Amino acid sequence: MSDTLDCFLAENERQAFRMAQLATGHNDDALDIVQDAMIKLVQKYSDREPLEWGPLFHRILQRQIIDWYRNTSIKRRIFSWFVADDEESSGSYLEALADPTDTSPDRLLQGDQAMDLLQSALKTLPLRQRQVFLLRCWQGLSTKQTSEAMGCSTGSVKTHYHRALTTLRSRLGETWP
């Protein structure tokens, strides 16, 4: 069982790290998130059938990412005086939160331009849309599986995915990649 679990984690750790990295924008935070997700899977669900590990791991990982965002947003609220009151009271702060990572032309010239463009476009998406896009498009999860991993309705998943696709296509343009 331990070898099977090792193989499962080895196969999924890179994708998990990349998803966490795209969500947080920081390598160390992404590594912490992936490690915590792995530990929780091992502690709680290692006795389950290996086929169940995939959806469970995605669910744990998404929860970890959301928790990271919550903690970060709380820190931002505490330490930054310029956060608007209406954003705080709206309740949808987490939904609308986008990563303000540097997307300058100099940065885009480095490395693979197509990937950099995609990465930059992904970072401008709200967290929920980005998670849904990565789970549906990259991980190949169905709408139902994505809704289970995200803890929301299938209708919400469809809406987020449609909006994510529309935004990405408009940002990347018709000629991408």
Partner 1 sequence: MAIENKQSYFEQAAKQQLDDSLKMIDAATLSKLNQARQRALSYEKKKRSFHFSWATGLLGTFAVAMLVVTILPSTQQSQPLVPDLITEQWDVLVVANEDELELYNELDFYQWLDDVHG
Q: Which residues bind partner 1 (CB under 8 A)?
A: 1-2, 5-6, 9-10, 13-15, 17-18, 27, 31, 34-35, 38-39, 41-43, 46, 111-112, 114-115, 118-119, 134, 137-138, 165, 168-169, 176-177
- Find the shortest distance in angstroms from Cβ 174 to partner 1: 9
Q: Choose between 35 and 103: whose C-beta lies nearer to partner 1.
A: 35
Q: Choose between 100 and 140: whose C-beta lies nearer to partner 1.
A: 140
By the 10 Å C-beta count (0-12 exposed, 13-18 middle, 19+ buried), 69 is classed as middle
d(CA 62, CA 151): 9
d(CA 95, CA 163): 13
Q: Choose between 92 and 113: whose C-beta lies nearer to partner 1.
A: 113
- Find the shortest distance in angstroms from Cβ 143 to partner 1: 14
Q: Choose between 98 and 115: whose C-beta lies nearer to partner 1.
A: 115
d(CA 130, CA 98): 9
> Which 3-state string (H, E, C) describes 74-139?
HHHHHHCCCCCHHHHHHCCHHHHCCCCCCCCHHHHHCCCHHHHHHHHHHHCCCHHHHHHHHHHHHC
- Find the shortest distance in angstroms from Cβ 27 to partner 1: 6
- Find the shortest distance in angstroms from Cβ 18 to partner 1: 6
